[in-house]
Structure 1
Amino acid sequence: MAEYETIRAAGVSGARAAQIDEGLRAHMNKVYGTMSVGTFITFLAAWAISGLAVTNDPAGATAMIREGQYLTGFGQAIYMSPLKWVIMFAPLAFIFFGFGAAVNRLSAAGVQLVFYGFAVLMGLSLSSIFLVFTGMSIIQVFLVTSIAFAGLSLWGYTTKKDISGWGSFLIMGVIGLLVASIINIFVGSPAIQFAVSILGVLIFAGLTAYDTQNIKNTYVQHAAHGDKEWLGKAAIMGALSLYLDFINMFMFLLQLLGNRE
């Protein structure tokens, strides 16, 4: 088994290795379970918020977005007012400044609640996809992303190849994507958007495999020293990493494959 090979490489053997092997399965199940719940919350929140933002009744509506559909006052506020910039960058600010503080100060249960709150915030940020893309294309891209993510994560979990060296290169790629995306908000170049989307899919595909292997190896290292208190929070942090990989890969694939309204 791949996990047992990892445990043996960490210098653990015998009954202790078997115990860590069983704990690793439970740890990864919690990571994937928490990530799946967070993803469900995000898409449910995005769908619900987009429903509040659009109406078929022109009375009291603020703007028409397509034939027979209008923005409500709420939709005007979150999509067309300066508040949209706050909503757009709030998840990014939370990742850099909020989640680390929560991990340091709260219990594992508290960190999990913060993660689910972040999933709602991400849903607010992504809700406009239900106005821009057809519902069928969103479902199709979600399924494609799910299949790709499952395959990449499985490979990262089972491979004996050490891919830890990918980390710095991939993080530099994410920073480059972020800078290019911010610039293109103001430039509006389809060519830049296409290039960013292609690179985004490749970078977050790599991060999916890298993060999965890193979560696995980190568990083994800490479990070998009996660091149980930390492991509960580590599962949430691992879920957040894979959640971000999935959401970003989905968004970049949607830009490439989605059918616009």
Structure 2
Amino acid sequence: MSFDPYEFDRDYGQSSRMESIGQYTAKTFLWMVLGLLVTFGIALLGWVTNATLYALAYVPYIHLIVLIATIVLSITMVSRIEKMSVGTARGIFIAFSALFGFTMSMYLYIFEFGSLIFVFLATAAYFAVLAAYGYFTKADLTRLRPILFTGLVFLFVFALVSLFIPGFTALDRIFCLAGIAIFLAFTAYDTQKIKAYYNYYAGYPDMLEKASIFSALQLYLDFINLFLYLLRFLGKSRN
């Protein structure tokens, strides 16, 4: 069974569904919110206790270790979602959220706390609007896939080049605006995919549950990336 939500029979398995599309979508967003609570809770705890600074000071390359661990977890979920158990999928999602909390805690030392709150609220508002659009629109957002993929490649290449060519930092605000636009579009796109997964895996309760966690991870990443680009664009540093 291929994990492509856009190749499905819309009429298949209607009688076997145990929950409505509205309930399924709400559950997916609740998982996303839980992931965000874990991330920002750990970030705040690391900042208040200075545990993040101690870890950076006494554990060599811990930031790289955490980065590699989060990448491994995300790749594992994407590549093995069909084979892993529901419990494993949930565990990976929570572990990913917790590890990313360590990375997020570093931003609490860089930006003013009031600025972080403002950007978080702005992110939540923008995210909610685009998620609502993705859920209710009748337009087929799958046509955005090539554009969104190209946008991700652009962001990656720009970030890589800026490490070696200092002059690229002058274009940083344009880079941030591009990142904001791309992840706003991803928010609508990934929200619409929830319905596609719901239809595609109707009649397969375990896969439907795992697809919900997978969708929550995608939406979580959309929110986090949108937050980070908005923070970079609007945030006030402590210096």
Taking structure 2 as the reference length, the TM-score comes to 0.85
Paired residues for 1:43-192 under 5 Å: 43-53=40-50, 72-77=53-58, 82-96=61-75, 98-100=76-78, 103-188=81-166, 189-192=168-171
Correspondence for 1:229: 206
Correspondence for 1:5: none
Residues 159-216 of structure 1: per-residue CA shift (max 9 Å, x gap): 0111111012202211221232233244454324322211110000000000111111
Residues 25-51 of structure 1: per-residue CA shift (max 9 Å, x gap): 121111000000000110111122233
Residues 76 and 192 of structure 1: CA distance in aligned 2, closer, same or farther (over 3 Å): farther
| Inter-partner Cα distance in structure 1 for 2:114 and 2:63 | 26
Correspondence for 2:30: 33
Deviation at 1:151, TM superposition (A): 0.7
| Inter-partner Cα distance in structure 1 for 2:162 and 2:58 | 23
Is 2:110–2:237's contact at 8 Å kept on the other side of the alignment? yes
> What is the identity, as a one-letter code, of the residue corresponding to 1:204?
F
Identity of aligned residues (%): 29
| Inter-partner Cα distance in structure 2 for 1:89 and 1:51 | 25
| Inter-partner Cα distance in structure 2 for 1:217 and 1:241 | 14
Deviation at 1:21, TM superposition (A): 9.6
Correspondence for 1:243: 220
Deviation at 1:104, TM superposition (A): 4.0
Specify every segment of 5 or more residues in structure 1 that has no aligned partner in the other structure, as ranges.
1-8, 55-70
Specify every segment of 5 or more residues in structure 2 that has no aligned partner in the other structure, as ranges.
1-8
| Count of residue pairs the alignment pairs up | 229
| Inter-partner Cα distance in structure 1 for 2:143 and 2:186 | 11
Paired residues for 1:2-13 under 5 Å: 10-11=10-11
> What is the identity, as a one-letter code, of the residue corresponding to 2:84?
L
| Inter-partner Cα distance in structure 2 for 1:228 and 1:213 | 20
> What is the identity, as a one-letter code, of the residue corresponding to 2:37?
F
**Which shifted more, 153-162 or 99-108?**
99-108
Residues 238 and 72 of structure 1: CA distance in aligned 2, closer, same or farther (over 3 Å): closer
Is 1:50–1:130's contact at 8 Å kept on the other side of the alignment? yes
| Inter-partner Cα distance in structure 2 for 1:123 and 1:139 | 16
| Inter-partner Cα distance in structure 1 for 2:45 and 2:127 | 25
Taking structure 1 as the reference length, the TM-score comes to 0.79
Deviation at 1:125, TM superposition (A): 1.6
> What is the identity, as a one-letter code, of the residue corresponding to 2:110?
V
Q: Secondary structure at the match of 2:140?
A: coil
Residues 113 and 94 of structure 1: CA distance in aligned 2, closer, same or farther (over 3 Å): closer
Deviation at 1:157, TM superposition (A): 0.4
Q: Tell me the C-alpha RMSD between the 2 structures.
A: 2.5
Is 2:10–2:200's contact at 8 Å kept on the other side of the alignment? yes
| Inter-partner Cα distance in structure 1 for 2:80 and 2:133 | 31
Does residue 212 (structure 1) correspond to residue 191 (structure 2)? The answer is: yes
> What is the identity, as a one-letter code, of the residue corresponding to 2:172?
Q
| Inter-partner Cα distance in structure 1 for 2:18 and 2:61 | 51
Rg (Cα) greater in structure: 1
| Inter-partner Cα distance in structure 1 for 2:223 and 2:86 | 22
